[in-house]
Structures are given as structure tokens and as C-alpha cells.
Amino acid sequence: MGAGFVFVVALLIFAAVTLAKGVRIVPQGEEWIVERLGKYSSTLVPGLNILVPYLDRVAYKLVTKDIILDVQEQEVITRDNAVILINAIAFIKITDPIKAVYGVTDFSEAIRNMIMTTLRSITGDMDLDQALSSRDKIKARLRESIADEAIDWGLTVKSVEIQDIKPSESMVRAMEAQASAERERKAMVTKAEGTKQSAILQAEARLEAAKRDAEAQVTLAEASAEAIRRVAAAIGNQDAPMRYMLGEKYLAAMGRLAESDNAKTVVLPADIQESLSGILGRARG
């Protein structure tokens, strides 16, 4: 009885293990790859599935929902030798589980590395300003570049988004220094332009003043000439009026000289009396 009981228990255990190995329940959103004796056998879809115990085994369990792949931040050198930091995020979906597991060792890592490599290639052909302002263009070229390879791996790239693209810290410092230098240059140019305009205006003012002075001198000369002509016409050949006028001019000049604040000493000619009497005497005679 003891041996029979042990046999029955062993048989029940074997049946339970066989049943456990032969029945699989696949949850929704997954597909399982079954291998028989090391070779692909079938793909289990969501629901109840029956396997051949001890011959079949579930080799891979794949998620058929959209997979989010985070592409780590990396440094990229642009065409003008600027260093930028860029990272991305990809949304992929497994459309062919067989290719996904047998076409590449690790499809997630493969897609991630392909995105990183393609990003370096795309942004490396751009200048810094173009790279910073062309997210949509980079995204479109990136998705187009990896789509064919993804299909070969049983994947569909639904979307690739550029999370962040920015200059490196060293580039930020260099850009700030460049911007500061540019502001200083513009300030110096503005100052120089102002100085230039000021000098031009001052020169124009001096030129205008000189022209007006010249015109005034010409006008005075013409007035003096006219006065001389009129005096000459009035006097005619008589010299007495002329001497009288010269005497008045002489006395007026001496008076102004004596009244000047800067005149401390007034030196008079020794023969001033004879000169005046001669001038005035001839005028009266």
C-alpha cells in the first residue's frame, strides 16, 4: 500500500507539472515566442494557449503596446565646431515579434543607439543657429532615417521627439562673451558715429560762420568804399575838410584809448599841440 500510494502521488505531481507546462495564459498587450527544441515554433497571442509539455518553452515575452525609449543626452559638434547637448524620446511598436527577437540582439538598445548616431549625423551637417532653431526638421529627418532599419527589426517608429537641444556650458560662456563683445562693438560704433556727426556739424558751423564773416567784411568794405567815394565827392579838391575830419578821428581814438580798462598809461606825442593846431588852424584858414 505504501508503494502504491507513492506512485499515485508521483503520478498526480507529474500530471500537475505537465498541465502547468502545457497551458499558458497570455495577458492582453503581450505576445510570447515559443521555441521547440531550441527552434522557433509559434507565437502565443493573448488568451489561453496550449503547448507541448517538455518540448515547447516560452523563450521571449514581448510587449505589443507602444514602447517609450528615452535617448540619453549626448554632445554633438555642429558644422561650425560648436558643441551642443541634445536628447530625444522615441515611441515605437513591435509589429513583427519574430523579427524583433531574432533580427537583432536587443531591439530597444539598437533603436536607441541608431537614434543617437543619426542625431549626431544630422546636427553635424548644421550650423549652431540652424540646429537650435530646426527641431521639426531634425525630427522629420531622424524618423525618416531610422524607419527602414526599424522595419527590418519588426518595429514601427511612431514618433521621435527632440526633448531638449541647447549649447553646452562652455558654448554658453563663449556665446555670452561674444554677445558682450558685440554690444561693446556696437556701442563704440555708435559713439564714433556720434563723434563723427558732431565733428561734421561743428565744421559746417565754422564754415557757415566763416562765410558770414567774409560776407560781413565784404559788406563793410563796400560800405567803407562807398563812404570814401561820397566824402571824396563832397570835398572835391579842397583839403581843409579832410584835415578837419582826420583831426576829429584822431581825438576820438585818443579818447577811447584813455577810457579803456586795460590802458594804464597813455603816451601822447610830444608835438600833439602843434599837430592839432596845425590841423585845426589849416581847417579854419
Q: What's 95's domain CATH number?
A: 3.30.479.30
Which of 167, 196, 217 terminates a domain? The answer is: 167
Percent of the chain's residues with pLDDT above 70: 78
Which residue spans within the chain are E strands per DSSP? 23-26, 30-36, 39-44, 47-50, 56-63, 67-77, 83-94, 155-167
Would you tell me how many other CB atoms lie within 10 Å of the CB of residue 244?
15
Indicate whether 155 and 71 sit together in one domain. Answer: yes
Indicate whether 133 and 52 sit together in one domain. Answer: no
For helices 169-235 and 240-259, the axis angle rounded to 10 degrees is: 140
Tens-digit pLDDT profile for residues 194-211: 888 888 888 888 888 888
Tens-digit pLDDT profile for residues 15-50: 777 777 788 899 999 999 999 988 999 999 999 998
Indicate whether 28 and 81 sit together in one domain. Answer: no
Indicate whether 230 and 246 sit together in one domain. Answer: no
Indicate whether 180 and 196 sit together in one domain. Answer: yes
146-168 as b/e, with b when 16 or more CB fall inside 10 Å? beeebeebbbebeebebeebebe
Closest CA to 115 of 65, 70, 66, 164: 70
Would you tell me how many other CB atoms lie within 10 Å of the CB of residue 247?
17
Indicate whether 157 and 76 sit together in one domain. Answer: yes
Indicate whether 82 and 145 sit together in one domain. Answer: yes
User: Is the pLDDT confidence value at 56 over 50?
Assistant: yes
Which of 63, 81, 101 terminates a domain? The answer is: 63
Indicate whether 139 and 216 sit together in one domain. Answer: no
pLDDT at 284: 45
Number of domains in the chain: 4
User: Is the pLDDT confidence value at 58 over 70?
Assistant: yes
Residues sharing a CB contact under 8 Å with residue 201, sequence separation 6 or more, in sequence order: none
Indicate whether 142 and 105 sit together in one domain. Answer: yes
Say which range, 42-56, 98-112, 114-128, 177-191, has the weakest mean pLDDT: 177-191
User: Is the pLDDT confidence value at 156 over 70?
Assistant: yes
Indicate whether 230 and 244 sit together in one domain. Answer: no
Number of Cα atoms under 13 Å in the Cβ half of residue 132: 13
User: Is the pLDDT confidence value at 229 over 80?
Assistant: no
Q: Which three cell numbers stand for residue 35?
A: 521555441
Measure the CA–CA gap between 40 and 100, rounded to whole angstroms. Answer: 13
Closest CA to 73 of 56, 82, 92, 86: 86
Which residue did the predictor score with more confidence, 148 or 226? 148
Which of 144, 167, 190 terminates a domain? The answer is: 167
Which domain range does residue 251 map to?
238-285
Indicate whether 145 and 216 sit together in one domain. Answer: no
Indicate whether 8 and 84 sit together in one domain. Answer: no
CB 157 within 8 A of CB 79: no
